[in-house]
Amino acid sequence: MQAERNSAKKRMQKRSGYDIVASEAERGRAADNGGMTEIDYPGLMDLRVDYAFKLMFSSGGAHRLICLLNAIFENKKIPRVVTGLTIENPILDRASLKDKLSVLDLRVRLDDGTSASVEMHLYDLMNHKFKTLRSWARIFGEDLKAGEDYARQNPVICISLINGPITNSKGRAVRKIHSLFKVMERDSHEVLMDAMELHYINMRAFVRHCREKGKPETGYDRFTRWMMLITHKMLRDGEALKSISGDDEIGEAMRALTRLSSNKIKRQAYQRRLDELRSYNSVVREIAEKDAVIADKDAAIADKDAAIADKDAIIAQLKAQLGDN
């Protein structure tokens, strides 16, 4: 009887098109010797696509998000351990999926009351730091209730996984893999308050570092293991991915990603989102290339104007000398 109920349950799950999240006892390991899901590395969804990222870490993937957040905090030696959280926007909105300019971020409330925004971002990096600041300000303002003491305001953390560097105030690229910004005094670097915490994780810099340094003798740390999974389509190193699959957190995440990737409904939605992002990025690159050509022409014109000005100055000087004679 129990076997029949289980069989019926599986058929119903298959018809509905949704995946069932493993129970606490099942996470990180197969239910029995034959329960291990075979991982199709080339067929996995690209977690750099915001749809796939949110699908992986929202709703039934909250425990994965806890692990990822703790890995990020550990990487910056922040004494914060997340043991629970609430995802405030777990639903994948259909309207947002159709809008290629929208960002499918994750808004979460940590167990200590801290608000956090986790965002996968592949394009328009030049303006991204301003968007992050705006997002932080909006969340910070929404969290403060009328009549509440400002000092009791919970911190707000914004985490951006980006496909390249952001720029500093001088327009120079920040090449670090993981940058953390806070409000602090300029000379002493004394932190004004812990209300703001902005993390930027440069996925391109991470992949470049992995390719240059290879596997460390001490093995991969927790942050590196999670970033290897997230950037696996850029790394293109199946052996490296297999080497971290024995980790409980990563192994469970890989099996979940395999199930999600083999779900036809979710796969179709993922492919549509991927095509839209590629189309948008293509337009952005084309505009950037045209802007670069225009900038080069403007620079060439400016150089010619400067050369003409120099010649005019020399001519004026010669005329003055002839006039004196």
Picking from 282, 257, 204, 248, the residue whose alpha carbon sits closest to that of residue 46 is 257
Residue 28 has pLDDT above 60, yes or no: no
pLDDT at 316 over 90: no
Which range is most confident: 21-30, 74-83, 313-322?
74-83
User: Would you state the pLDDT for residue 30?
Assistant: 36
Q: What would the pLDDT profile of 134-178 be if each residue is shown by its tens digit?
A: 999 999 988 877 667 777 788 999 999 999 998 888 888 898 999
Which one is predicted more confidently, 222 or 104?
222
Average pLDDT over residues 115-123: 89
- Choice among 17-26, 30-39, 82-91 with the minimum mean pLDDT: 17-26
Q: How confident is the model at residue 70 (pLDDT cuts 50, 70, 90)?
A: very high
**Closest to 133 measured CA to CA, from 166, 164, 176, 109:** 166
Residue 309 has pLDDT above 70, yes or no: yes
Q: What b/e readout covers 289-316, taking b as 16+ CB neighbours within 10 angstroms?
A: eeeeeeeeeeeeeeeeeeeeeeeeeeee
CA-wise closest residue to 159 among 134, 143, 180: 180
Going from N- to C-terminal start, the domains of the chain cover: 39-262
How high is the pLDDT of residue 102? 54
C-alpha 240/C-alpha 220 separation (Å) is 10
pLDDT at 9: 40
Mean pLDDT computed over 189-210: 94
Cβ atoms < 10 Å from Cβ of 45? 24
pTM for this entry:
0.73
The lowest-confidence range among 64-68, 100-104, 267-271, 294-298 is 100-104
Local confidence band at 21 (pLDDT 50, 70, 90 cut-offs)? very low
Angle CA 23–117–130, to nearest 5: 160
For residue 242, the number of C-alpha atoms closer than 13 Å in the C-beta half-sphere is 8
pLDDT of 32 reads: 35
Confidence band for 23, pLDDT divided at 50, 70 and 90: very low
Question: Does residue 107 surpass a pLDDT of 90?
Answer: yes
β 115-121/106-110 pair status: antiparallel
